[in-house]
Chains A and B, each alone.
Chain A
Amino acid sequence: MTAATTLHSRHLLGIADLEPPEIELVLETALAMKEIGTRPIKKVPTLRGRTIINLFFEPSTRTRMSFELAEKRLSADTLGMTTSGSSAAKGETLADTARTLEAMAPDMIVMRHGASGAPHQLARICRASIINAGDGMHEHPTQALLDALTMLERKRRLAGLQVAIIGDLVHSRVLRSNVLLLTRMGAKVRACGPATLVPPGLDRLGVQVTTSIDAALDGADVVMMLRVQHERMSGLFLPSVREYFTFFGLTPARLERAAPDVIVMHPGPMNRGVEIDSAVADGPWSVILDQVANGVAVRMAVLYLLAGGEAEA
C-alpha cells in the first residue's frame, strides 16, 4: 500500500473519514515528527503565525497538554478555553460560541465536547480546520492514531495483529476510533466487557465480541484496557468495582494467555485496581508511557497535514 501524500479533508473529525493511505500518511509523518522531541531545541518554525484555539468543554489533562505541546513544537500561537469560567458555563450555545471564535479568525480549532457530533457542527460554521479531540461517545481520532503508532513501533505492522480491547465499551470513543482504524488497516479486533457495557451492533463493525476476558486475551498481540467511565454512567451498569476487577481486571496471571511478546496499552487515566492491576500497569508489557510520547508526535503530524489546506481534486 502506498501512503497518500495529502489528506482529502481539511478537518479531522473522525477515523471514519480517513482512507487507509491517509492513515499511513499520518503515521509516517508522526514518525518523522518524533525526532523533533529528541533535539536540544524541540521546536520547528513550521506553523509560525498560525493561530490555534483549544476548546475543551470536558475535563482533559493529557489530551489538552499533548495538543498544546504539539502546537508549541510547531511554533503556532495557541490559546485555550476550558468550560469553567467560559461563556459556555454562562449558557451560550455551541453555535454562538463557534461564531464568536470565527470572528477571531483562528486557523485551527481543537475541540473536545461531551456531545457526539459537536465538532461536526463547528466544522459547518467555522472556516478554521477542526480537529476532534474527543466528542461524547463517538470518536477520538488522535487517540486511535497514537495507539496505532505505538503498535506499529512495537510490532512493525498493523495488518494481522490480534488486538483485544477490554473494558467499558459502550461509553468509549477510544474503542470506536480504534475499531475503525484497526479494522481498516487489517488488524483483528476482539472487544470484551460486561454485557451491560457492550453497545448493540458492535459485531457489525467487524469485531469479535465476547464477555470472557480469557477468550479475549487468548493469543492476543496487543491488549488495550479501557477506563471504567464512572462519570458517564447514569444507570446501574456494574454491581461493584471489586466484582468488575474480579471478572475484567487485567492481572499478570491472566496476561499469560496472551502472546509471549504482548504489549499492554491504556489511553489513561488509569483506575488501578479497577480495570488494571498495578503489576501490569508498571510491568514489562506496559507501553502506556510510549503512548503519551507518541501522542505529541501524532498531533504534530495532524496539525501539519491539516495546515496545508485541501488537496486539489
Chain B
Amino acid sequence: MAIVMDADRMSRTLARIAHEILERHRGLDGLALIGIRARGVPIAARLAGQLRALTGTDVPTGTLDITLYRDDLMRHAVGPQPVIRRTEINFSIDDRLILLVDDVLYTGRTIRAALDALIDFGRPRAIQLVVLVDRGHRELPIRADYVGRNIPTSRQQSVQVRLTEIDGRDEVEVEG
C-alpha cells in the first residue's frame, strides 16, 4: 500500500518522456501516438499536448482496443467476455513511426496483442513503446523504449495507475 508516484512526479515524468521523444526524433516528422485502452489513451493525449507545447506541432493521436487480440480471450470456456471499446486510428500508419503508449508494462502480453493489432492497420516504419511504469516479470521478449519509472514488484502485488481523466486523480500505487 504505497504511493510510488504522485501527481507532481507524474507530470514531471511525462514532461521528461516528451523531451526524450523530441531528442530522438527531431521535427517529429512522421510520428504518431497510439494509446492502448484504457489508461494508455490519456497518457498519449498528455504526451501529444506536451509535444505541441514544445514544438507547436500536432502529432496525430489514436486509440487502440486490444481486446479482440488477447491471447487469453477464448481460453476460459465459461465466463463473460470483456467489453469491447472503440479503436480510433483516423490516419494511415503506413511508413510512420508509431509510439505505442500504455500505463504499465508487465508480462508483455498486452503489447504483443497491440503489435498484432497495429500490423493489421498497415506497415509502420517502426513501432516504439512508451510506458509510465515498468514493473518487470516479462513473459515475452518485449521491452520499452521510453520508461517513466522502473518499479520492482512481486507477482503478488498489483500496480494501480490512476489518471485524472478516468479516476479523478493522478497517482501510481503498489498494492499488496
Residues of chain B at the chain A interface (Cβ within 8 Å): 65, 68-69, 73-74, 76-81, 83-88, 116-117, 120-122
Contacts and interface: CB of A to CB of B under 8 A. Distances in A.
A278 interface: no
28 contacts: A5-B83, A25-B83, A28-B84, A33-B84, A35-B86, A36-B68, A39-B121, A40-B120, A41-B120, A41-B121, A43-B120, A44-B68, A44-B69, A46-B68, A46-B69, A46-B73, A304-B81, A304-B84, A307-B74, A308-B79, A308-B81, A309-B77, A309-B80, A311-B79, A311-B80, A312-B78, A312-B79, A312-B80
A261 interface: no
Nearest to A33: B84
Nearest to B71: A45
Nearest to A31: B86
A43 B120 CA distance: 8
Nearest to A29: B84
B69 A309 contact: no
Contacts of B81: 6, 304-305, 307-308
Contacts of B79: 308-309, 311-312
A243 B74 CA distance: 55
Given A6-B80, A308-B79, A46 B74 contact: yes
Contacts of A308: 79-81
A128 to B, nearest CB: 12
Given A39-B120, A40-B120, A49-B74, 11 more contacts: A6-B81, A28-B83, A32-B86, A33-B84, A35-B88, A41-B120, A43-B120, A45-B116, A304-B68, A307-B81, A309-B77
A50 interface: yes
Contacts of B68: 36, 44-46, 74, 304
A305 B73 CA distance: 11
Interface string A17-56: 0000000010011011101100111011111111000000
Contact of B78 (A31, A40, A48, A309): A309
Contacts, number: 66
Max chain A CB contacts within 10 Å: which of B68, B77, B79, B85?
B68
Contacts of B121: 39-41
Given A5-B80, A6-B81, A308-B80, A40 B122 contact: yes
Nearest to B65: A32
Nearest to A49: B74
A310 B78 contact: yes
B64 to A, nearest CB: 11
Contacts of A29: 83-84
Interface string A273-313: 00000000000000000000000000001001101111110
B74 A47 contact: yes
Contacts of A3: 83
A41 B120 CA distance: 5
Contacts of B88: 35
Nearest to B70: A46
A44 B80 contact: no
Given A45-B69, A308-B80, A35 B74 contact: no
Contacts of B122: 40
A157 B84 CA distance: 20
Max chain A CB contacts within 10 Å: which of B86, B88, B122?
B86
A47 B68 CA distance: 9
A280 B116 CA distance: 44
Nearest to A10: B78
Nearest to A45: B69
A29 B65 CA distance: 12
A21 to B, nearest CB: 12
Nearest to A32: B84
A294 to B, nearest CB: 15
Closest CB pairs A-B (n = 8):
A6-B80, A308-B81, A44-B68, A309-B78, A32-B84, A41-B120, A46-B68, A32-B86
A75 to B, nearest CB: 9
Interface in A187-205: none
Nearest to B120: A41
B160 to A, nearest CB: 20
Nearest to A301: B84
A18 to B, nearest CB: 15
A40 B79 CA distance: 32
A32 B120 contact: no
A45 B69 CA distance: 6
A45 B83 CA distance: 16
Contacts of B80: 5-6, 308-309, 311-312
